[in-house]
């Protein structure tokens, strides 16, 4: 009997996860491992929702967003009892290694399985790009392209009124989506959790722009921004919008992009990244390596200890922020 390898997707889904699943299954077959799909993340693992997968099971999915293995959150898995049940299930099915495609919460869960003797390999899949030890996580590029498309449309409809268009994007703790998409959209203001926010400064920047004849402004707001000067009611973009209206002559229009950022056909970058990372993760598993996450750094795939990766904090590349500051100040 060939050695068995489990594959699951966990936490928030991200476009490109299917490309990773497809490669993981086919790479497993290439390395003479028997791939097993585990449905609904750790929740499904505990409940025994798993089955062997063939190459045909992953046909025609590379272009699809979401994850054919489904995803879930499991509070039970966070308990010692839940984790014991997960390990028992893997042992019962003779699955010796496990590929976990997800974000940092999923990686914490993976590490706890490694500590119980299951060889786990983490593949970073989250649109937030908040995982250290990789330049980008799977799904980020698609998400920022989705934001860019949306802002392009907002620009099209922006008429010659003096208006500020606030676009709230995902990123509870990380400004990556806001910063990248803001740069790509030529945003006038980008608000991210990593940079202290002074709303009066934002208002005076907008007022100056109006005085200089600018008819509309694009403001990209990360959902994790906490505007201290605002009234605390509603989403950050709503609060900031009201504040701007109270302090300037501008009308505001708010767009909260929400879950559309999670969907859509993955971009070239996400498909290729997912394929490379998944192949490498399975190759490591075939060699009997576990307790690692795989990432791509400077275009090279690399493995990092999960424990090390989880102790790091992903740093936003502030060069991008400085570039935005220069471009939006002129």
So which residues are the catalytic ones? 128
User: Contact between 11 and ligand ADP (CB under 6 A)?
Assistant: yes
How far apart are alpha carbons 292 and 253 in whole angstroms? 45
User: Contact between 242 and ligand ADP (CB under 6 A)?
Assistant: no
Beta bridge partners of residue 95, listed in sequence order: 4
User: Contact between 163 and ligand ADP (CB under 6 A)?
Assistant: no
Within 10 A of 14 (CB to CB), how many other CB atoms are there? 34
Give the per-residue contact string, 59-78, with ligand ADP (x = CB under 6 A; - = no).
Answer: --------------xx--xx
* Nearer Cβ to ligand ADP (17/62): 17
Is the distance from CB of 156 to CB of 246 less than 8 angstroms? Answer: no
Helices (H), 34-103: 41-46, 80-92
Question: How far from chain centre, in Å, is Cα 287?
Answer: 28
Q: Site for ligand ADP (CB under 6 A): which residue of 5, 8, 9, 10? A: 10
User: Contact between 104 and ligand ADP (CB under 6 A)?
Assistant: yes
User: Contact between 122 and ligand ADP (CB under 6 A)?
Assistant: no
- Give SS3 for 295: strand
Angle at 259 between CA 41 and CA 66, to 5 degrees: 40
Beta bridge partners of residue 5, listed in sequence order: 35, 97
User: Contact between 116 and ligand ADP (CB under 6 A)?
Assistant: no
For 86-101, letters b (16+ CB in 10 Å) and e give: bbebbeebebbbbbbb
* Nearer Cβ to ligand ADP (78/253): 78
User: Contact between 279 and ligand ADP (CB under 6 A)?
Assistant: no
216: exposed, middle or buried (C-beta count within 10 Å: 0-12, 13-18, 19+)? buried
Q: Site for ligand ADP (CB under 6 A): which residue of 3, 57, 61, 105? A: 105
* Nearer Cβ to ligand ADP (77/216): 77
User: Contact between 176 and ligand ADP (CB under 6 A)?
Assistant: no
Helices (H), the chain: 17-30, 41-46, 80-92, 104-114, 140-157, 176-185, 199-211, 236-247, 268-286, 306-311, 318-329
CB of 25 to ligand ADP, least distance (A): 21
Choices 100-108, 167-175, 178-186, 314-322; region in contact with ligand ADP by CB under 6 A:
100-108
Nearest position to ligand ADP, beta carbon: 105
For 13, the token pair is 């889904």
Choices 30-38, 105-113, 115-123, 139-147; region in contact with ligand ADP by CB under 6 A:
105-113
User: Contact between 112 and ligand ADP (CB under 6 A)?
Assistant: yes
User: Contact between 6 and ligand ADP (CB under 6 A)?
Assistant: no
How far apart are alpha carbons 242 and 244 in whole angstroms? 5
For 125, the token pair is 């899949």
User: Contact between 234 and ligand ADP (CB under 6 A)?
Assistant: no
User: Contact between 132 and ligand ADP (CB under 6 A)?
Assistant: no
Place of tokens 């999923």: 106
Choices 21-29, 98-106, 242-250, 316-324; region in contact with ligand ADP by CB under 6 A:
98-106
* Nearer Cβ to ligand ADP (108/269): 108
Is the distance from CB of 14 to CB of 271 less than 8 angstroms? Answer: no
Binding residues (CB under 6 A) for ligand ADP: these are 10-12, 42, 73-74, 77-78, 102-106, 108-109, 112, 126
């Amino acid at each position: 009997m060939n050695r068995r390898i489990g594959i699951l997707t966990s936490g928030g889904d991200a476009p490109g996860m299917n490309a990773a699943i497809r490669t993981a299954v086919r790479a497993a077959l290439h390395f003479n491992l028997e791939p097993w799909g585990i449905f609904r993340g750790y929740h499904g693992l505990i409940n025994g929702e798993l089955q062997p997968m063939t190459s045909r099971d992953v046909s025609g999915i590379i272009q699809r967003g979401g994850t054919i293995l489904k995803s879930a959150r499991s509070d039970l898995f966070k308990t010692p009892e839940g984790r014991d049940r997960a390990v028992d299930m893997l042992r019962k099915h003779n699955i010796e290694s496990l590929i976990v495609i997800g974000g940092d919460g999923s990686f914490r869960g993976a590490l706890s399985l490694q500590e119980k003797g299951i060889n786990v390999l983490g593949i970073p899949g989250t649109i937030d790009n908040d995982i250290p030890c990789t330049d980008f996580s799977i799904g980020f590029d698609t998400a920022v392209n989705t934001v860019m498309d949306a802002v392009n449309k907002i620009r099209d409809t922006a008429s010659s009124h003096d208006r500020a268009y606030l676009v709230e994007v995902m990123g509870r703790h990380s400004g990556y989506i806001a910063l990248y998409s803001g740069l790509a959209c030529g945003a006038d203001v980008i608000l991210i959790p990593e940079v202290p926010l002074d709303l009066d400064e934002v208002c005076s920047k907008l007022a100056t722009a109006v005085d200089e004849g600018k008819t509309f402004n694009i403001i990209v707001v990360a959902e994790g921004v906490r505007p201290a000067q605002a009234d605390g009611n509603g989403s950050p973009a709503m609060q900031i919008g009201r504040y701007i209206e109270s302090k300037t002559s501008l009308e505001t229009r708010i767009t909260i992009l929400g879950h559309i950022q999670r969907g859509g056909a993955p971009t070239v970058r996400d498909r290729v990244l997912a394929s490379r990372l998944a192949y490498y993760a399975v190759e490591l598993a075939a060699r009997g390596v576990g307790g690692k996450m795989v990432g791509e750094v400077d275009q090279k795939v690399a493995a990092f200890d999960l424990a090390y990766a989880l102790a790091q904090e992903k740093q936003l590349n502030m060069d991008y922020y400085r570039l935005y500051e220069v471009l939006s100040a002129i």
